[in-house]
Structure 1
């Protein structure tokens, strides 16, 4: 996996495309998580460079992976590429969930904060410690209910920050519009920042409904995704999406059978969730504060 991080960084740098490897071995280098193998490669680029970057990866054998046509609580933020001879995917981000500033401006703010990080023994340009802390925090906070241990580790790292680094972290969060999402890590600080009511609600719903089959319905009912076709495509995918995810479905009959099974399963999940399996909306008390209180008991 680290070698693919190096490959991705070298390919993009060779094409003159500014890029930042994120998460994975970068988080390991700064001790922002318990060290473990990553399942994919994450790279952040400017939204203006997405098409060019995809062409670069496709020129060396990567292809687009699963096509997502369903509804989303948070805006689409990445494209996934895979290679038949590499056992991992490249997640090419032009935006990171929890960052609500203009995506181009946010990338430029993060790209101003770089340092060389050793990945697979090779020096790679990556976000500096504070920027990597912000990205790692957003990654874990969006799945807060199931990331208790990871967030506890981050809480300890934040508690050990110098006052200068703490101010630096808060300033960066404001500049990229991530103040609302990272507030649980700095509960005693008033971060300020310009995050709209809609953005706050979308983040809260993403945290609450991350793994729920009701997530698409919630997105529609909350007005976060106003495309009726997107909701329908979740149950009845297009021929293009099926060709990408299930190339074995070659005839109209097999595609119809697959769609009917998917529709039946999806409706069953929705009905089951509506009867009581859906998670409730969390109170806006930072999850890290709750963890700290439980440890004191």
Structure 2
């Protein structure tokens, strides 16, 4: 790439970069016969599901069996995994965040979306079957349907303790669905609820939209994991406690000490810490420990409340 082109890439505004990232992945996927669906982000605005908002990443759902293949292909175009500090996850790993040195927005590649407890390949096949053609950066892009995008966005805002922005987005999505959901969309919602096994997770929302029960489609372990993740006062503390609780006895001690005292190499992966000096590292450890102590009681209660006998 020439210096002039390189400079132009760096100055690309994020409001334009994110739609272009969607378009880029769509083109590359077609060239390699990989099925992908654009989800979330600016598509929600186009579908009347949220107010205008600048998205900092492009969310892509890929057929699960080809996630690694797609990420390897994107690596050839300069997209590499973001190197982040390890933090245990309560829900199964589901995505990879890719960054580019000359691109201001990220690409989040998903093999499935948390909150769906149906089989990942079956959920993708249904979303692919009901896909529509969207448009971003003046490029046609295969997109999950309006109902599917609404469900995915609801799962996103509900999977952790919601912020004020999450509550606003939740209200906007529900208002939009209640106002103008067509009969065919309602039937698609019911089918997605069954195949995706989201009836228990979205029980309140489905009831409000007129979907009849039953809503008991999760087993006790699945429900406990969702509730622990959803209600954790501090996602990191809750994640470490869950990892310790579910690990074998020999592994528990190692996980505990890794949570208490991560290596300097791990800490340097946090934003702004790459060149931190000794004093800054000490301060970071102190703040991290204080935050853990502060959130430990609530996280412990949450874990106990959702224990599985």
TM over 0.5, shorter chain: yes
C-alpha distance in structure 2 between counterparts of 1:22 and 1:87, whole Å = 19
User: Are residues 1:195 and 2:218 paired?
Assistant: yes
| Deviation of 1:232 (Å) | 4.3
Q: Distance in 1 between matches of 2:295 and 2:270?
A: 26
Match of 1:118, SS? strand
- What is the CA-CA distance between 1:270 and the residue it aligns to? 1.8
Residue 292 (structure 2) aligns with:
270
> Structure 2: any 5+ residue segments left out of the alignment?
1-17
In the TM superposition, what is the alpha-carbon distance from 1:190 to its structure 2 partner? 1.2
* Aligned: 1:155 with 2:174: yes
Which residue pairs with 1:290 in the alignment?
Answer: none
SS of residue paired to 1:180 = coil
Secondary structure of 1:138 counterpart = helix
Equivalent residues, number: 280
State the Cα distance separating 1:158 from its structure 2 match: 2.6
Q: Check the 8 A contact 1:69/1:237 in 2, yes or no.
A: no
Matching residue of 1:185: 205
Q: Supply the distance in 2 between the matched residues of 1:123 and 1:260 (Cα, whole angstroms).
A: 50
Q: Find out whether 1:207 has 2:230 as its counterpart.
A: yes
Q: Is the 8 A contact 2:91 2:225 kept in 1?
A: yes
Scaled by the length of structure 2, the TM-score of the pair is 0.77
Retained in 1: the 8 A contact 2:203–2:215? no
Offset at 1:97? Answer: 0.9
The answer to whether structure 1 residue 166 and structure 2 residue 186 are counterparts is yes
- Aligned-residue offset at 1:236: 4.4
Deviation at 1:280, TM superposition (A): 6.0
Q: Indicate which of 28, 41, 66 corresponds to 1:11.
A: 28
Cα offset, 1:126, TM superposition: 0.7
Which residue does the alignment assign to 1:114? 131
**In structure 2, C-alpha distance between the alignment counterparts of 1:222 and 1:157, rounded to whole Å:** 41
CA RMSD in angstroms comes to: 3.3
**Gaps (5+ residues) in structure 1?**
285-297
Measured in 2, the distance between the counterparts of 1:235 and 1:10 equals: 44
2:161/2:232 contact within 8 Å kept: no
Match of 1:83 in 2: 100
Q: Report deviation, 1:60.
A: 0.9
How far the C-alpha of 1:122 sits from its partner, in A, is 1.4
Distance of aligned partners of 1:223 and 1:180 in 2 relative to their CA distance in 1, 3 Å threshold: farther
TM-score (norm 1): 0.80
Does the CA-based 8 Å contact 1:235-1:263 persist in structure 2?
no
Matches for 1:1-297 after TM superposition, within 5 Å? 1-143=18-160, 145-146=162-163, 147-160=166-179, 161-187=181-207, 189-192=212-215, 194-209=217-232, 211-220=234-243, 223=246, 228=252, 229-230=254-255, 232-237=257-262, 241=266, 263-274=285-296
Residues 59-101 of structure 1: per-residue CA shift (max 9 Å, x gap): 0111110335222111111111100100011111112110112
* Distance change (3 Å), C-alpha of 1:142 and 1:45: same
